[in-house]
Amino acid sequence: AQSVTQLGSHVSVSEGALVLLRCNYSSSVPPYLFWYVQYPNQGLQLLLKYTSAATLVKGINGFEAEFKKSETSFHLTKPSAHMSDAAEYFCAGSTGGGNKLTFGTGTQLKVEL
């Protein structure tokens, strides 16, 4: 069964610093993988997705993620954090069965001046 693990429930970075949010998946086959962002009192918004076309995926707002099969990872990065990046981020994955997504427990990103 597909599962997704996010390491670190809270991450704090300074404005302008690198953002790195970690996600690992467990699956015997390359899955579909997604990163979503949630701002306070809102729904989830798709940041980017991996669907096997390319291992380095670029998303909105300057975020990108790299699929590494050898490490079963799909970490989210952004070179320079902005105050507006403060939000909760969710990694999600699926092997396609029933088109169901399994979500990680989320990482709250705090950006400090």
In the complex, the residues that contact another protein under the rule CB under 8 A are 6, 9, 32, 34, 36, 41-46, 49, 51, 90, 92, 94, 96, 98-106
In the bound state with another protein, the residue whose beta carbon lies nearer, of 40 and 113, is 40
The terminus-to-terminus CA distance of the chain in angstroms comes to 41
Of 18 and 69, the one with the shorter C-beta distance to another protein is 69
- Cβ of residue 83: shortest distance to another protein, in angstroms? 23
Q: Each residue of 28-54: b (16+ CB within 10 Å) or e?
A: eeebbbbbbbeeeeeebeebbbbeeee
Residue 63 is which amino acid? F
Least distance from C-beta 28 to another protein, angstroms? 18
User: Distance between CA atoms of 30 and 8, rounded to whole angstroms?
Assistant: 24
Closest to another protein by CB, 3 or 80: 3
